[in-house]
Amino acid sequence: MSDLFAPEGGWRVRVLDLSGGAEDNIVEEVGGFLTLMHANAFARRYVRDSLERCRVPGMSTKDVLEAWFAFGEDVEVLEAGEGAWRSANELGDFADRRAGEEECDWRALDPRLDAADDSDDTEE
């Protein structure tokens, strides 16, 4: 799949509540990613942040994973097929190694912030 052929409106990611607290486990969908690479990077950082919020000092890798599967949030990149980032590919590594601040900063990649900034510019 190529970034040249993004779906209309851009790539979208779906945030899933693993605790089952949301209807159909869907918390929200975030759209407007201009490239698949952008959507994948957002998804990766979002899951990384979710896993780190489940981690407490002294937890084993197994405990971290159990906490994330019970209370965390997963993300899937929609309509990307084999090109989509998947948490299962890196979850073990995430649980083994504490993340740095940038690895969890999904907000810096959130396209909704760009849209808010653009609307502020048009009001001036």
Q: What is the pLDDT of residues 12-32, one digit of tens each?
A: 999 999 998 767 888 899 999
Of 66, 71, 4, 65, the C-alpha closest to 36 is 4
Query: How far, in Å, CA of 46 to CA of 102, rounded?
Result: 11
- Retrieve residue 36's tokens: 């698949």
Number of structural domains the chain divides into: 1
Q: What is the mean pLDDT of the chain?
A: 90
**pLDDT of res. 4:** 59
Distance CA 66, CA 57 (A): 15
Range of the domain at 61: 3-123
Query: What would the mean pLDDT of 58-85 be, rounded to a whole number?
Result: 96
pLDDT at 122 over 60: no
pLDDT at res. 82: 94
- Residue 24 has a pLDDT of 82
Least confident span in 62-66, 101-105, 111-115:
111-115
